Amino acid sequence: MGPQRKKGHNIRGVRSWFCHLCTTPWASMRVKVLITRIKGGLGNQLFCYASARRLALVNDAELVIDDVSGFTYDKIYKRSYALDAFNINARKATPSERFFPFDKIRRAIIQRLSKHRPLAKRRYIIQDSVKFDPELVGLRLQPGGTYFDGFGQSERYFADVVEVIKDDLKIAPPTDEYNQKMAEKIKSSEAVALHVRWFDSEDFKSHNNISIEYYSKAIKKILNVTNQPHFFVFSDNADATQDKLESIMAGLNKTYVNHNKSEAMAYADMWLMTLCNHFVIANSTFGWWAAWLGEARDKSQVIVPALEIMAEQNITAWGFEGLIPVRWTLL
């Protein structure tokens, strides 16, 4: 039988361990550091980055990207960090900056401790809602490290640094022959990117999927304001999309883009979409970013589903305040 530890020693050990869990690894730094948690699919990841990039910029803070913890427990979609194809220079977070080890416990404790502090005094800022929060725009960071776990799903979070964001989010073009040929085809036409996002099934009448009536109205709008448009149709299921849309696109110049099938090639589809002149997008942050990065502000038509349609169809994943720029056309 080994030597028994004194009770007081055990208590001090537990207390020391608890204090370690409660301490952020960068609280003693004098410089400002903003660590942003990247999560979700490609469109959501871009919102996470853009909102944090602007927050770091106006606070003269170093931006650090947590490219791991937002995907560690994603057992359903099994997504991963997808921003390496963009012109982003921020460094990646170290394990300690991601709260490893014991990250779940440490996050829970630090979130609880931060929750009742004023926003500017928090070491861990978590955005509880996707709705636009003006307080985040005016936030002034304190010296040391701040961890930002947000959505940032509004242009308003970075509207004053648009050129910086657009430069950061330039996409490295895929070099394969098929994508290069498709790019030339797009550039040589009055190209319209039409994006269909399927959620729970490939059915326009299904919950969360935009109705075929929306696409019909959007196509008519494009035909009224452009000369000889060529529709390039992008989707996460090209075969189902072609089958469903053929009834409203018969006789139109169109190309179904279906060669970038893997999640790892999603950036290539977004790059091709940005080359288009006009955009018809679904209730998708992927389509949102393709349109935002590709639009010519005074020339492009960007058509999006109206918020009233979202409400009528009980779609909650899209129709929230601040998401859709006022210059875009709601149908």
Give mean pLDDT in consecutive 10-residue pieces for the chain, a chain of 331 residues. 49 46 57 95 97 98 96 89 97 91 81 83 88 93 93 95 98 96 98 87 63 93 96 89 91 95 92 98 94 93 79 57 88 89
Domain ranges of the chain: 11-166, 176-330
In the numeric block, the tokens 């300690």 are attached to 96
| Secondary structure (3-state) at 330 | strand
- What is the structure's pLDDT at 87? 98
- Model pLDDT, residue 310: 56
DSSP letter for each residue of 59-104: TT-EEEEE-SHHHHT-TTT------TTB---PEEPPTGGGT-SSHH
Q: Which CATH number, 3.40.640.10, 3.90.550.10, 3.30.1330.20, 3.40.50.11350, labels domain 176-330?
A: 3.40.50.11350
CA–CA distance, 306 with 290 (Å, rounded to integer): 18
- Is pTM, for the whole model, over 0.75? yes
Which residue type occupies 143? P
Question: Would you say 245 and 216 are in contact if contact means Cβ atoms under 8 Å apart?
Answer: no
The CA distance from 191 to 179, in Å, is 15
Specify the amino acid at residue 67. Answer: D
The predicted pLDDT at position 298 comes to: 83
DSSP 269-283: HHHHHHTSSEEE--S
Q: Which of 100, 79, 153 is nearest to 320 (CA)?
A: 153
Residue type present at position 252: L
DSSP state of 265: G
Q: Report pLDDT for 294.
A: 97
